[in-house]
Amino acid sequence: MTNKKYILFVLKSIMSGFLVMARASLAQENGFGTSYLQELNLGDVSLMELIINMINVILGFLAIITIIIILWGGFRWLTAGGSEDKVAEAKKTIVNGVIGLVIIIASYAITTFLIENLTISTGTETAEFF
C-alpha cells in the first residue's frame, strides 16, 4: 500500500513538473519573459534592497505564524472544558508563541540596526528598511 502511494506521488510530481516547464516555455513565447519583468521595473532593484525585502517578507511571514500559534493556544484553552492537562498544554502553546514573537521582533531590530550601520559605514544608499 505504501509503495503505491509513493509511486503515485512520484508520477504526480513528474507530471506537474512537465506542466510547469510547458507553462514557462509558453510564457517566453508570449513575451512574458525577462522583458515583462523589465517593464515592471523588477530588474532595477539592487542586491541590498532585494535582501532587505526578503528579510522583511520572511520575518513578516514568521510573525503571522506565531500569532496563529498564540490564537491556537487560546482556542485550545477555551475548549479545554476545565481539564487541567489541556489548560496546561494550551498555556504552554501560548507561552511558546509569545517567546517566538519576541525572538522575531528582536531579530527584526537587530537586522535593522545592522543594515543601517552597514549602509552608513560603507557609504552606500539603500531603500528604507521599514
* pLDDT over threshold 80, residue 115: yes
pTM above 0.95, yes or no: no
Task: Encode pLDDT of 75-95 as tens digits.
Answer: 999 999 889 999 999 999 999
Of residues 86 and 45, the one with the higher pLDDT is 86
Q: State residue 82's pLDDT score.
A: 85
What is the DSSP annotation of the chain? -HHHHHHHHHHHHHHHHHHHHHHHHHHHHTT-SHHHHHHTT-TT--HHHHHHHHHHHHHHHHHHHHHHHHHHHHHHHHTSTT-HHHHHHHHHHHHHHHHHHHHHHHHHHHHHHHHHHHHHHHT-------
Task: Encode pLDDT of 55-70 as tens digits.
Answer: 888 998 999 999 999 9
Q: State residue 52's pLDDT score.
A: 82
